[in-house]
Amino acid sequence: MTKRQYINPKGVAAPPGNFSWVVASEKTLYLAGQVGIDENGNTVDPNDAGAQVKQALYNIDATLRELGGTLDNIVRTTTYVVGKENLDSARAGRKAIMDQGLMTNKPANTLVVVAGLASDDWLVEIETTAVLD
């Protein structure tokens, strides 16, 4: 049986519940949904989905770097966006990360438009699967 590790990396706010940010099984990392909160738990611009996408991806990047990877190790994401009116901004946030060169691959992605997330301030949540080389 594969040994699993349950990890809460440094540089990312503590989970706001009874769960781990990452479950590692051999070289596969399953990351819980990241939202637009900084390492102190403060929501970045509650009115800007693009800013929240960037912060969520910065959180994912910090997590993967601590575990020996980068955003280019991502193989799948599920992106939850509150309301269709936030889609263009959310897409622009992801493009900004790619334009910065932080993520050069294009992982499989499912985009889901939702009515809301766990906090009214959150407009985006990104769940990730990554495989370390």
Binned at pLDDT 50, 70 and 90, residue 2 comes out as low
By residue count, the chain amounts to: 133
Domain count, the chain: 1
Mean pLDDT over all residues of the chain?
94
CATH code, domain with 68: 3.30.1330.40
Bigger pLDDT: 127 vs 21:
127
Q: Which residues, other chains included, contact 126 with Cβ-Cβ below 8 Å and sequence gap of 6+?
A: 33, 34, 35, 53, 56, 57, 60, 77, 78, 79, 80
Portion of the chain with pLDDT greater than 90, in percent: 79
- Flag whether pLDDT at 10 surpasses 90: no
pTM across the whole model: 0.92
- Average pLDDT on 12-41 reads 90
Binned at pLDDT 50, 70 and 90, residue 1 comes out as very low
| Enclosing domain of residue 123 | 4-131
Q: Is 40 exposed, middle or buried (0-12, 13-18, 19+ CB in 10 A)?
A: exposed
Number of helices followed by number of strands (H, E) in the chain: 2, 6
76-85 pLDDT, tens digit per residue, is: 999 999 999 9
pLDDT at residue 3 in the model: 86
Binned at pLDDT 50, 70 and 90, residue 129 comes out as very high
- Average pLDDT on 64-87 reads 97
